[in-house]
């Protein structure tokens, strides 16, 4: 694919006083992608989106949206963007319908039938003053404004955090709809199921830099398979096999995680270990996320291997 | 009880900077006034002349209060009391709203309310903090007066009068906060009540009766209906009477109790006057653009400002002729006045001029309030959403500034129109209605400087825009009202934009000053429009 990326940042850094919110973030979102943007609280996700909107100026590095520098030309960059902030505050004395008309109107006007359909599907009362709305209803107003006029890029900052499961389904349906129509979506989220259902690519950000980026399949490949075996073997023997981590033994029951890259060698080792029972849990993204979300310097409670081996394993994942 | 103290300490911790500024500012103003009187009007004869001139000018009595003899303390109290009392009232009002309705609006109450404290604990804490703040204020004002060389007992009573007026408005604002539906409407209503207390006292004082020596004036009935008027009746430096202090304190306790009762009887977030909860489904011709939004957000507030300005204008137009007729019964005063008044200006014109000066200040305040909406929009996160659509920051700021200019002009026009109409109806003589209306508008260029420089500070350092805007207005007011008393150099007094607008109809219109102020306002606004592009949006 030789298409120009829709969103492209290189070495993006932002300091607020002495705190570094971003420290050299590289992020590329290609046209038509639904790109998951994940990371722990305070990793710099919202700051990144604000820079992409030209609301905040990067300390160093470059950010481009549709090839435009959003800080220099915010109005031109915004023409094809729809944005839903993470924490939606509305004008308390405007009704929800007026807020939708204002935000969609400034982008060129809502598609009337789409607006009606969204209000209907989100079960939203547009006649109520915004001060009476709950968090979820404020979010609905911002989502309706964003989806009621087609955009080329949707920047969504944890958009479903206040929605109930039924409304969440409506939200996912509309993300799929705009993606099918060819739009690009950058979706910041903490909800794994949402990311697995919607996103084709994922970037995980931590402490202001991207630590993983790739398709879901690629990321799954990075994760480990959990084995539970019953075997007549000294646990130390298995622990010495490369690619085996977090080994725990209780009598003959042994549990461990296996790197995908070393699965062949591990299976060979098991074959000669007198195995009488085996279960293997497929690789899950959750494990990968938890690994990235938790602090590197403090070992997880269930980790019994020594820290050096852990670090070595991580380095083999870092690319 | 323990919880109340802890909550009060928490509120005090949040307020320590702002309360220190208020208290030092008010006490500093008192100290400066006392020092000016003791040093620049050291001789009895000088003070007697100052007081006699004032007693012969009902407009001055309206603005300032009543002369009560020529001792240094009495002259200081006459010159400084009303303004310090108004400031104390505003301090109490804003303090209470910050910790009651504003916290409720922002949802902080809910978090506190979930802890094991009673429903009224937080309100008790606010009343406690308000009492503490006004106690410190009373002591600071007393210390300022005594430090400038005034008698100790009188200084203490004068400080108590100011502090108890503050406490009265703490109680009143606490009641208003239970009744009004939002922090904005609570602040507006309670501040308007402070203004009304000042105006009612002014009317009573302007209609007061001077004694034969013209060195002491007894207030007329209306000032009995104003807490600021009560405080004045303490007469701390002449014939001290502590009864009004007890009345103020008692009224504050009653109001505080009423607020607590009202709070116990309502739901969290509810109010006794409810706002409209539903409205139009479509934006229509209203908030469908950045400019339409700015107008829509301001229009209700604008109506409130214009109503206040029209009341002020009505007082200006209606009171002048009444005062003139009352004075006609005192020939010695009439004789003195005819010597003092410049040229052929009539008594009614003098009164109108002074009152329209206040309208100019009101117009400036309305303009500042209108541009500070930008700050609220940014701090509360709405600007982020608005500026993520193809709307430029320049348009956003420009729309707010345009609405502020409309607000300022409309407030001045409302005061002028109402004054002109009342004067015409009363057939009071003096200047023609057209001239009176023009006189109000003559203050617009100077008033516009305030929103313009406030928005400039907003473009550079948004956090400072609100303190700067209000402080600028306070400084201009002090320079204008006290500049000559304090003997400040002319260049310093000239820093106040109001010095450059013409005091019509007594003075002729001076286009030079108006053009200069309009140019300053335009330049500041244009600079803000350029600079707003160059900073991060505050998260």
**Angle at which helices B290-327 and B331-340 cross, to 10°:** 130
Q: Give the C-alpha separation, A305 to B42, whole Å.
A: 88
Q: Which of B392, B403, B384, B397 is nearest to B538 (CA)?
A: B384
Which of A77, A83, A86, A94 should we substitute to test contact with B (largest number of B Cβ atoms within 10 Å)?
A94
Cα–Cα distances (Å) from A263 to A280, A305, A319, in that order, read 11, 19, 20
* Residues B330-352: b if buried by 16+ CB within 10 A, e if exposed: beebeebbeeebeeebbbbbbbb
Query: Which of B301, B384, B395 best tests the A interface by mutation, with the highest count of A CBs <10 A?
Result: B384
Q: Which residue of B has its CA nearest to A97?
A: B281
8 A C-beta contact, residue A29 and residue A188: no
- Provide, as residue numbers in chain A, all residues whose Cβ is less than 8 Å from the Cβ of B290: 106
Whether residues A102 and B283 touch (CB distance < 8 A) is answered with: yes
Cα separations (Å) of B221 from B208, B229, B324, B469?
8, 10, 17, 36
Which chain A residue is nearest to residue B299, measuring alpha carbons?
A93
Residue B267 sits at the chain A interface (C-beta within 8 Å): no
Nearest C-alpha neighbor of A240 from the set A217, A256, A224 = A256
* Sites in chain B below the pLDDT cut of 70: 1, 285-286, 337, 339-345, 539
Rounded Cα distance, A77 and A69, in Å: 8
pLDDT given for residue A134 in this prediction: 92
Preferred mutation among A13, A21, A45, A55 to probe B, highest tally of B CBs within 10 A: A55
State the burial class of residue A255 (Cβ atoms within 10 Å of its Cβ: 0-12, 13-18, 19+). Answer: middle
Helix (H) or strand (E) holding A31: none
Write the CB contacts of A265 (distance below 8 Å, at least 6 apart in sequence).
Answer: A241, A242, A243
Q: Between chains, do B287 and A98 touch, taking CB under 8 Å as contact? A: yes
Half-sphere exposure of A169 (CA within 13 A, CB side): 4
Q: How far is the alpha carbon of B286 from chain A, nearest alpha carbon, in Å?
A: 8
CA distance, residue B478 to nearest chain A CA (Å): 36
Give pLDDT, residue A297.
40
| Residue partners of A308: CB distance under 8 A and separation at least 6 | none
Residue of B105, B287, B303, B389 to mutate when probing chain A, most A C-beta within 10 A: B389
CB contact under 8 A, B384 and A50: yes
3-state secondary structure at position A106: helix
Nearest to B281 among A103, A108, A126 (CB): A126
Where residue A272 falls among pLDDT bands split at 50, 70, 90? confident
Closest CA to B128 of B259, B308, B243, B262: B259
- Nearest CB among A108, A131, A142 relative to B385 is that of A142
Instruction: Name the residue among B178, B383, B186, B370 with its Cα closest to residue B290.
Output: B383
Please give the C-alpha separations between residue B189 and each of B181, B329, B330, B479, in angstroms, as whole numbers: 11, 38, 39, 27
Q: Which residue would you say has higher pLDDT here, A17 or A154?
A: A154
Q: How far does the CA of residue A194 sit from the closest CA of chain B (Å)?
A: 24
Contact status of B539 with chain A (Cβ, < 8 Å): yes
Residue A201 has pLDDT above 80, yes or no: yes
Do the chains contact at B293 and A107, CB–CB below 8 Å? no
Question: Which phi and psi angles does A247 have, rounded to 5°?
Answer: -80, 135
| Interchain CB contact of B295 with A (< 8 Å) | no
CB B143 within 8 A of CB B153: no
Query: What CA–CA distance (Å, rounded) separates B153 from B158?
Result: 9
A–B: how many Cβ contacts below 8 A? 112
Pair of tokens at residue B493: 């007094």
Q: How many CB atoms lie within 10 A of CB B60?
A: 18
pTM of the model: 0.85
Rounded Cα gap, residues A49 and A155, in angstroms: 7
Q: B279 and A79 in contact by Cβ < 8 A?
A: no
How far is Cα B489 from Cα B484, in angstroms, rounded to an integer?
A: 9
Picking from B283, B392, B393, the nearest residue to A101 by CB comes out as B283
- ipTM tops 0.95: no
Nearest CB to B536 within list A57, A78, A126: A57
**What pLDDT does A301 receive?**
38
Q: What is the pLDDT of residue A193?
A: 77
Answer yes or no: is pLDDT of A312 > 50: no
User: Do B275 and A126 count as a contact with CB atoms less than 8 A apart?
Assistant: no
Residue ranges of alpha helices (H) inside B207-268 are: 227-232, 243-264
pLDDT of residue B340: 65
pLDDT at res. B539: 57
Report the gap between the CA of A126 and the closest CA in chain B (Å): 5
Q: Is B303 on the interface with A (CB under 8 A)?
A: no
In chain A, residues with a C-beta closer than 8 Å to the C-beta of B289 are 102, 105-106
**pLDDT value of position B1:** 59
Helix or strand holding residue B20 (H, E) = helix B2-40
Rounded to a whole number of angstroms, the distance from the CA of B92 to the nearest CA of chain A is 26
> Per-residue pLDDT averaged across A129-141, rounded?
92
Q: For position B342, what pLDDT does the model report?
A: 59
Q: CA-to-CA distance for A113 and A100, rounded, in angstroms?
A: 14
The Cα–Cα gap between B218 and B457 comes to 45
- What is the rounded CA–CA span in Å between residue B198 and residue B187? 17
Structure tokens given for B190: 């309670």
From residue A238, alpha-carbon distances to A243, A312, B262 in Å are 10, 18, 73
* pLDDT given at position B508: 84
Does B14 contact chain A (CB < 8 Å)?
A: no
For range A32-59, the mean pLDDT: 92
Give the chain B residue whose CA is nearest to the CA of A90: B382
CB A115 within 8 A of CB A143: no
Residues B537 and A56 sit within 8 Å (Cβ to Cβ) = yes
A270: nearest Cα among A246, A304, A243, A309: A243
Task: Report yes or no: B299 at the A interface, CB cutoff 8 Å.
Answer: no
Q: Token pair 């009152």 is at which residue?
A: B355
Of A50, A75, A88, the CB nearest to B392: A75
**Contact indicator for B68, B56 with CB cutoff of 8 Å:** no
pLDDT of residue A305: 38
* Cβ within 8 Å, pair B278-A102: no
CB contact under 8 A, B282 and A50: no
At residue A280, the pLDDT reads: 85
**B283/A115 Cα distance (integer angstroms):** 13
Contacts of A65 in chain B (CB under 8 A): none
Distance between CA atoms of residues B437 and B320, nearest Å: 16
Rounded Cα distance between B384 and B538, Å, is: 9
Q: What angle do CA A263, A268, A274 make, to 5 degrees?
A: 125
- Maximum separation of any 2 CA atoms in chain A, in Å: 74
Do B275 and A93 count as a contact with CB atoms less than 8 A apart? yes
């Amino acid at each position: 694919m030789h298409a120009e990326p829709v969103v492209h940042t290189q070495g993006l850094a932002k300091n607020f006083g002495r705190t570094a919110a971003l420290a050299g973030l590289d992020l590329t979102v290609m046209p038509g992608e639904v790109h998951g943007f994940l990371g722990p609280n305070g990793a710099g996700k919202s700051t990144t989106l604000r820079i992409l909107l030209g609301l905040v100026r990067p300390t160093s590095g470059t950010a481009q949206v549709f090839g435009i520098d959003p800080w220099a030309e915010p109005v031109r960059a915004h023409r094809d963007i729809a944005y839903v902030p993470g924490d939606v505050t509305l004008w308390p004395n405007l009704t929800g319908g007026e807020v939708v008309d204002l935000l969609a109107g400034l982008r060129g006007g809502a598609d009337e039938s789409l607006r009606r359909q969204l209000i209907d599907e989100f079960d939203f009362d547009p006649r109520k003053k915004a001060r009476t709305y709950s968090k979820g209803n404020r979010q609905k107003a911002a989502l309706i404004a964003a989806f009621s006029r087609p955009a080329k890029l949707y920047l969504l900052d944890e958009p479903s955090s206040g929605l109930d499961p039924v409304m969440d389904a409506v939200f996912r349906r509309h993300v799929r709809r705009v993606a099918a129509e060819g739009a690009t979506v950058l979706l910041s989220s903490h909800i794994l199921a949402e990311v697995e259902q919607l996103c084709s690519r994922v970037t995980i950000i931590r402490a202001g830099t991207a630590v993983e980026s790739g398709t879901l399949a690629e990321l799954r490949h990075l994760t480990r398979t959990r084995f539970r075996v019953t075997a007549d073997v000294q646990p130390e023997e298995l622990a010495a096999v490369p690619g085996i981590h977090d080994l725990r033994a209780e009598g003959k029951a042994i549990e461990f995680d296996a790197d995908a890259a070393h699965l062949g060698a591990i299976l060979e080792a098991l074959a000669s270990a007198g195995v009488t029972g085996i279960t293997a849990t497929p690789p899950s993204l959750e494990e990968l996320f938890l690994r990235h979300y938790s602090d590197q310097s403090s070992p997880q409670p269930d980790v019994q291997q020594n820290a050096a081996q852990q670090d070595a394993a991580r380095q083999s994942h870092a690319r | 009880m323990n919880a109340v103290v802890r909550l009060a300490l928490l509120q005090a911790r949040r307020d320590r900077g702002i309360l220190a500024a208020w208290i030092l500012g008010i006490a500093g103003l008192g100290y400066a006034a006392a020092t000016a009187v003791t040093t620049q009007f050291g001789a009895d004869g000088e003070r007697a002349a100052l007081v006699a001139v004032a007693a012969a000018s009902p407009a001055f009595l309206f603005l300032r209060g009543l002369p009560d003899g020529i001792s240094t303390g009495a002259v200081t109290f006459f010159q400084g009391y009303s303004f310090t009392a108004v400031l104390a009232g505003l301090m109490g009002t804003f303090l209470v709203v910050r910790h009651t309705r504003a916290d409720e609006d922002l949802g902080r109450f809910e978090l506190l309310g979930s802890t094991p404290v009673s429903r009224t604990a937080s309100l008790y804490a606010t009343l406690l903090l308000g009492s503490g703040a006004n106690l410190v204020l009373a002591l600071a004002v007393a210390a300022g007066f005594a430090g400038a060389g005034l008698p100790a007992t009188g200084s203490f009573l004068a400080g108590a009068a100011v502090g108890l007026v503050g406490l009265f408005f703490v109680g009143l604002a606490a009641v208003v906060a239970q009744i009004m539906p939002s922090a904005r409407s609570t602040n507006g209503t309670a501040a308007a009540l402070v203004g009304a207390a000042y105006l009612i006292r002014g009317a009573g004082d302007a209609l007061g009766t001077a004694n034969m020596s013209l060195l002491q004036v007894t207030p007329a009935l209306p000032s009995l209906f104003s807490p600021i008027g009560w405080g004045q009746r303490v007469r701390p430096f002449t014939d001290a009477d502590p009864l009004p202090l007890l009345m103020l304190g008692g009224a504050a306790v009653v109001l505080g109790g009423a607020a607590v009762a009202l709070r116990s009887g309502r739901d969290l977030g509810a109010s006794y006057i409810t706002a409209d909860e539903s409205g139009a489904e479509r934006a229509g011709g209203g908030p469908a653009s950045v400019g339409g939004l700015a107008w829509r957000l301001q229009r209700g507030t604008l109506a409130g400002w214009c109503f206040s300005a029209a009341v002020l204008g009505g007082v200006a137009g209606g009171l002048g002729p009444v005062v003139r007729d009352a004075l006609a019964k005192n020939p010695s005063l009439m004789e003195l006045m005819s010597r003092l008044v410049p040229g052929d200006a009539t008594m009614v014109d003098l009164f109108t001029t002074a009152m329209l000066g206040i309208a100019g200040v009101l117009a400036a305040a309305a303009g500042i309030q209108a541009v500070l909406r930008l700050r609220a929009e940014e701090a509360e996160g709405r600007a982020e959403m608005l500026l993520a659509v193809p709307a430029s920051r320049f348009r956003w700021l420009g729309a707010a500034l345009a609405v502020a200019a409309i607000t300022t002009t409309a407030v001045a026009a409302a005061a002028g129109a109402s004054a002109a109409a009342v004067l015409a109806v009363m057939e009071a003589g003096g200047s023609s209605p057209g001239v009176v209306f023009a006189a109000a508008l003559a203050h617009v260029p100077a008033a516009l400087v305030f929103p313009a420089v406030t928005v400039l500070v907003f473009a550079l350092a948004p956090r400072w825009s609100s303190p700067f805007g209000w402080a600028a207005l306070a400084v201009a007011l002090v320079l204008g009202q006290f500049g000559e008393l304090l003997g400040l150099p002319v260049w310093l007094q000239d820093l106040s934009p109001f010095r450059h607008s013409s005091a019509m109809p007594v003075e002729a219109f001076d286009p030079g000053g108006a053009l200069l102020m309009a140019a300053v306002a335009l330049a500041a606004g244009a600079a803000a429009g350029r600079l707003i592009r160059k900073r991060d949006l505050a998260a």
